[in-house]
Chains A and B, each alone.
Chain A
Amino acid sequence: MKKDDDKIINEFANKEYEAGFTTEIDMDVFPKGLSENIVRAISAKKEEPEFMLEFRLKAFRYWKKMSEPNWAHLSYKKPDFQDISYYAAPKNTPKFNSLDEVDPELLDTFEKLGIPLDEQKVLAGVAVDAVIDSVSVHTTFRETLLEKGIIFCSFSDALKEYPKLIKKYLGTVVPYSDNYYAALNAAVFSDGSFAYIPKGVKCPMELSTYFRINAANTGQFERTLLVADAGSKVSYLEGCTAPVRDENQLHAAVVEIVAMENADVKYSTVQNWYPGDKNGKGGIYNFVTKRGICRGANSKISWTQVETGSAITWKYPSTILKGDNSIGEFYSVAVTNNMQQADTGTKMIHLGRNTKSTIVSKGISLGHSSNSYRGLVTVAKNASNARNFSQCDSLLIGDKCGAHTFPYIEVNNQTATVEHEATTSKISEDQVFYCQQRGLDSESAVSLIVNGFAKEVLNQLPMEFAVEAQKLLSLTLEGSVG
């Protein structure tokens, strides 16, 4: 039995990372290093309004006084922040109004990644903002959306065209002082997406941002701000990939979501940053702060994430349930293989009455990887009848990987109900053999079993992406079994 498990596992070879190519284009790259001058230069390059520069400088000054957190269950060499370039953009391409102006190499890049930017070719019903390194290169369906009053554009455009909206909401959910990486992001972020759904409008298509790191020795710091006004509804998806490179690259993003009364926001992530090679060389350090606030009564924010990439993932999409009867959900699948490390989970902060949160976390570990769930459920004094249910399941494939669960619960109201369930399981030789006896090879068997394990979460994804995510999961496992 033991032996066969080993066999199954040892034959798990390193999967080929399919998105690992680089694009040869002329880049405009800032010199390495971080200083107040660099912060000013980024702001100047982007011709930003004064308030934005101030926000950046405050953040930078604050960040300098902070030290890097080390409470996570991760071990890695701390990045040298002076050895990173903080701005890289395809040259001569400040913004494309028509696809004809876009470097064909770039279009090719996105085509290869399965993200055609041609509206004729694009997945029906999905608007895409394509961000490469530090800038957004193209946003599809802007006009179509605008007819309904929906704003969906790059952060840079939003700063120029809707500075008032940005000023009103920027930093209200994730203040620059929130944590080390959030402060760094606030100082140096270069682009990202902005979406505003007006009162009562149901967004007719999926909004999505596709992040691609291309340049070497650069960090990617993007910022996404999503505002769903009263009674509106939107589903948003983010995808990410990066070329194969030997050195580690830093990705420190911030996402802020504001949901007003009766608004309904679904935020899905399929994260496939380069994870490094089999021996742990290279890969993205993914240090991300994502937070939403259910500001109005009866609002809802639902996070779904499928995390397969990155050398290191440090990420806790969280929801502040401020409005009465508001709902927070977190559905997560995190796969770690080889030397990958993930410390991910969520925070549900119950402030309003009758607020409800659901957490479903599925961790899958292979190889020598380490996969931790870290979750916090807080119920404030006034949050009467708050309810939380958490389910954390770990699936181990092989005996050299680790799974850890760190649930923190703080309840300050006696009427609250908080439930936490956790399980750890292994793929058994029995299960694999059962599938083989029906004609599936062991690789398909493991893939089927893993997809079954993650089903509750995958079901939360919009249809088109659920299929993508399933494929991605299978790819991550490819070559894993013999």
Chain B
Amino acid sequence: MLTINNLHASVDGKKILNGINLEVKKGEVHAIMGPNGSGKSTLASVLAGREKFQVTAGNIDFDGIDLLELSSEVRSREGIFLAFQYPVEIPGVSITNFMKAAVNEHRKHKGLEPIAPSAFLRLMKEKKALVEMEAKLSNRSVNEGFSGGEKKKNEIFQMAMLEPKLAVLDETDSGLDIDALRIVANGVNKLKTSENASIVITHYQRLLDYIVPDIIHVLYNGRIVKTGGRELALELEEKGYDWIKKEDDGK
């Protein structure tokens, strides 16, 4: 589904990604771990097409299309979803209106009519239930005054609404209490099919108890320096990143 080939990217002249190679197949869950500042969020942003990041080399293939050719909104409509590490506030715009606009853009892209109001409300209700989001939250402005946990839930709710092919979850677990973590993870698991895939960025092995990854990658200095199975997460939990840094710096 997704093939990243020798991806280099920089921001404001600073090189951040230095040759990423990654292949994600349909039905897979990949986890990306790595020390702070290693480039995890940058990779997520580049996948989503954020313009402030310049891709200086490499390419990304997404289901046969050259992803780098597409604007960020078209990537979204093609099925790429990013759950933000720091969700953004949009004062005065209710989640309901925001989602209606988003859903209709996605439908238009598929050549469908705008969604009927009743169908939309039903969809909202169903997806809110999935992440146990408080019903009233959707009348509030997007992320404005939300608690850290509510913001993260809202991201997964939006993901549920848009049903992406590829979801990138950037530290969706941070700031969640134990119950919320379970709820959010369950939500993600319920959305999983054999046709879609996700990339889960996290610092904690704990999340991976709930969302079980097929493959784990470690990102360091803008490159994937280690790839392994579930045991890699446990090893990192125990030993930290020093050994990986040393290994890599020694090369």
Contacts and interface: CB of A to CB of B under 8 A. Distances in A.
Interface stretch (B21-29, B68-76, B178-186): B68-76
B92 A452 contact: yes
Interface residues of B, number: 31
Interface in B70-120: 71-73, 76-77, 81-82, 84, 87-93, 97-98, 101-102, 105-106, 109
B52 interface: yes
Nearest to B143: A434
Contact of B93 (A4, A439, A441, A448): A448
B102 A3 contact: no
B162 interface: yes
A449 B51 contact: no
Residue among B48, B84, B92 with the most chain A CB within 10 A? B92
Nearest to A395: B91
B90 A439 contact: no
A438 B167 CA distance: 12
Interface string A408-434: 000000000000000000001111011
Given A438-B158, A439-B162, 13 more contacts: A1-B12, A4-B51, A4-B52, A429-B52, A433-B48, A437-B84, A438-B76, A439-B109, A440-B101, A448-B97, A448-B98, A453-B91, A455-B92
B72 A436 contact: yes
Given A439-B73, A439-B76, A444 B101 contact: yes
B52 A1 contact: yes
B91 A439 contact: no
B105 A439 contact: yes
Nearest to A449: B90
Contact of A452 (B77, B90, B109, B162): B90
B141 interface: yes
A435 interface: yes
A434 B143 CA distance: 11
Contacts of B162: 438-439
B137 to A, nearest CB: 16
Contact of B90 (A7, A434, A441): A434
A438 B105 CA distance: 9
Given A436-B73, A438-B98, A452 B93 contact: yes
Interface size class of A (residues with CB under 8 A): 20 to 34
A456 interface: yes
Contact of B88 (A431, A451, A456): A431
Contacts of A253: none
Interface string A436-471: 111111101000110111111000000000000000
A449 B93 CA distance: 7
B76 A437 contact: yes
17 contacts: A3-B52, A7-B51, A431-B88, A433-B88, A434-B90, A436-B49, A436-B73, A437-B84, A438-B102, A438-B158, A439-B76, A440-B105, A449-B90, A449-B93, A451-B92, A452-B90, A455-B92
Contacts of A440: 73, 101-102, 105
A437 B72 contact: yes
A459 to B, nearest CB: 10
A452 B91 contact: yes
Contacts of A449: 90, 93
